[in-house]
Structure 1
Amino acid sequence: MTIELEYSSSLNGASYLMFELKQVVKLKQMGETSPEIRRRVVEENLFQFENKGRINRTLPSIMKRAEVIDESLADLLLDGSIEMGKVINLYAIMKTDLLFFEFMNEVIGEKLHNNDLLIEKKDINVFFTAKAEQSEKVASWSATNTEKLKRAFIQVLFESGLLKERRGKELSRLIVDEQLKDHLIRIGDAKYVQAMGE
């Protein structure tokens, strides 16, 4: 399923959220519709958030991510290893967030392919500056919003296992399971595998 993506800063309110994604995918596999899933998440507080407002901020992103996860990926996400789950979640984030995908592709993937395992603050700043020059939308974001987004990107790198330490600069290679890699390539999503440094 292809979604036409525009640049967005939604990762600010919904960075990694793997536990939450699993809850939604589980309900989807049980045959529940999107409206039913939304209602249950809110009414039963399935994400276990103390702040109800946070559910409303994160749910649209999670629903979008769940949409791009097919049957095979759903099985692997729910029954596979934690590492495999992390890779699938990262894939879903890239597939539903154009700016983050381009960051992975142009910065992280590039570094991993060149065996450059350091991500510096300047790498992130250069990326955002270039995007602001190419896109009026990115250019229109406030400095505060952009700074938050940079932190959200780092958070995703850290939680997916690409960044060794939250405040560190050292990148780690992901272990992408062959079965998962083959599946993504087979469904035409090789560019996401490449962006992960494979």
Structure 2
Amino acid sequence: MTKELEYSATLTGASFSFLELKKVLKLKREGLSDSDIKKKVFEENLFQYEIKTSMKSVFPSVMRRANALNEELQQMVLEDQLELGKIINLYAIMKTDRLFFEFMNEVVREKLEMNNYLLEKKDINTFFIIKSEQNEKMAKWTEKTVAKLKQVYIKLLYEAGMIVDKKTGELNRLIIDEGLKSHLNIMGDTAYLKAMGE
């Protein structure tokens, strides 16, 4: 469970990175090891980034997400509809980032449970203030880091289809495929479904 993970600000450099995840999963399917995948991604610039440093900050997060998905979920990302793949990517981000999971679970889920479809700046600000009061490591983060994370969280929700409009913060309830729901429940990952508003 995500609880064992430390709070991290790595999402400031990784964001949604869905196409990158698909590329890594294709290479995994071909039987390449993690180190071979890394070598291929960097040598052939598979993410097609103009700036190499961007790849350095994105790749570790994408690799962690790919490794958080079992074969069935990997197959769904590669073969099913785009929307389903994006939901699985959102799940993988929660699975590999404790702070983002807690944000989804404590802010977004609660909003959706109360049929409140407005994610306001104050909701995000309050979440970060509470967490930094509870966690020494987070308390040391710069204002710039926290501001960037807040932006990234909104962007993640927008790219996953959970926010309709980044400016207004209007939330949208995801339509999650029954097969995916059942699979995550069997895996014991119901908490992640709930965090997505199920």
TM-score by length of 1: 0.98
8 A contact 2:2–2:98 mirrored in 1:
no
Question: What is residue 181 of structure 2 aligned with on the other side?
Answer: 181
Question: What is residue 130 of structure 1 aligned with on the other side?
Answer: 130
Aligned length: 198
8 A contact 1:109–1:196 mirrored in 2:
yes
Once the two structures are superposed, the pairs formed by residues 96-175 of structure 1 within 5 Å of their partners are: 96-175=96-175
Q: Output one character per residue of 1:55-87: Cα deviation in whole Å (capped at 9) or x when no partner.
A: 111111011000111100011001111110110
Matches of 1:155 and 1:114, distance apart in 2: 23
8 A contact 1:10–1:61 mirrored in 2:
yes
- Give, in angstroms, the shift of residue 29 of structure 1: 1.1
- Give, in angstroms, the shift of residue 185 of structure 1: 0.7
8 A contact 2:2–2:97 mirrored in 1:
no
SS at match of 1:164: strand
SS at match of 1:175: coil
Matches of 2:172 and 2:72, distance apart in 1: 26
User: Match for 1:186: what amino acid?
Assistant: I
Matches of 1:37 and 1:197, distance apart in 2: 34
8 A contact 1:3–1:96 mirrored in 2:
no
- Give, in angstroms, the shift of residue 4 of structure 1: 3.3
Query: CA separation of 1:145/1:101 partners in 2, compared to 1, >3 Å: closer, same or farther?
Result: same
Structure 2 unaligned regions, length at least 5: none
Structure 1 unaligned regions, length at least 5: none
Q: Output one character per residue of 1:75-111: Cα deviation in whole Å (capped at 9) or x when no partner.
A: 1001111110110000000000000000000000111
Matches of 2:30 and 2:4, distance apart in 1: 27
User: Match for 1:61: what amino acid?
Assistant: S
Q: Output one character per residue of 1:144-173: Cα deviation in whole Å (capped at 9) or x when no partner.
A: 110000000000010000000122221000
Matches of 1:63 and 1:3, distance apart in 2: 20
